[in-house]
Amino acid sequence: MKSYISTQPILWQPIEEKLLKLITNYSYKEVRLPIIEHTSLFKKAIGRTTDIIRKELFNYADKKGKGFTLRPEGTTGCVRAGIELGLIHNQEQRSWYIGSMFRHDRPQKGRYRQFNQLGIECFGLKEPELDAELIILTKNIWTTLGITNYLSLELNSIGSIEERETYNKTLAIFFSNTIKALDKASSSKLVKDPFRLLDSKEYVIKKIVKTAPTIYSYLSDSSKRLFNSLCLLLDINGVKYKLNNFLVRGLDYYNNTVFEWVEANNIKSQATICGGGRYDNLVEKLGGFSTPAIGCALGLERLAILIDNNLKQDNKLDTYIIPTYIEANVKAMVVSETIRTNLTKLRSLTSYEEGSFKRKLINPYNHNSKLVIIIETGKYIEEVIVIKALINGNQYIIPKDTIVNEVNKAIHLN
């Protein structure tokens, strides 16, 4: 399991605060869900042929032999809670939740056995306007975080359950004729649910999938109208997207609209930062009344990595202040507080440690500081303030009473 320290997220708290403020503006309300649910609940909701059910659940049994599971995703628990509390029958309900999920996966960067998700779920509306609104909400999240240019939207319709069953027969024939040798897991998928091969991580299968028949020809007029309406609404609202005919989600409860926001500039591994879609049959499947629903989840670890990789300048110091002698510490403190008071957007750090001046000069580079401000004063030395720009090495002496203007000017020049 992965632990976190405060230096990893300048990230965690600011990200969460911005996300929740925006979600609240769309009238979503928090729901707090248990980490543990009955194993049977997930098997019923997610689908027995999915990778999550087959090999990624953390299961255990109580003293009576009853099976429980650490939640691998939040939608199922949210639906279960909504049914039990009577929140989603004949009414619109908008919920969000945040917390840890658990999957027995091979740990790697951005993929952990314990990870955190923010989930957004809306029940009671079947109109394509809601699909568009949810996607626009996620786009506004990226805008708020300043990462719009680093993400791209992929979109598809996987139709109704009945339409997928017809499509599945075609896929079974296609894969049987195309792939001569399959591993055990893929062979099982081919027999039980060929649709799941579209989500395969195997290189050979991923390559062949590109030549497979698409589901669009198997969609009903109703499903096509819904999808075309969604695309039109996104066009009207200036949301750019890419149609991906082979986009499927790794959970069986989805129907019609599915979407993913993936890294736009990572060709080798396009990590999915956010994914979701419609699940109009799940509420009834879990014992509730027939209720249309749509939702999505954001992976917070992957989101933090994306921000950290692409917005590293946000971690940089603007000024690093170094007093050359211990006698200059008081003056350095006055200078640093003057900068913080008058230039409130700048990040400033002052070195009060004892040690050689040469060693102190290493610290600004370690902190990615833009400027170094050197305070030279001592028993036999007249006070001097020097500004040095680390990007080009330029340095100059400034008058003591112009520190604010000179720092502001140097920051914008460098």
75 is in an annotated binding site: yes
91 is in an annotated binding site: no
Q: Which residues pair with 70 in a beta bridge?
A: 36, 58
80 is in an annotated binding site: no
380 is in an annotated binding site: no
402 is in an annotated binding site: no
Contact 123, 289 (CB under 8 A): no
249 is in an annotated binding site: yes
74 is in an annotated binding site: yes
117 is in an annotated binding site: yes
103 is in an annotated binding site: yes
Binding residues: 73-75, 103, 117, 121, 249, 253-254
Q: Which residues are annotated as a binding site for L-histidine?
A: 73-75, 103, 117, 121, 249, 253-254
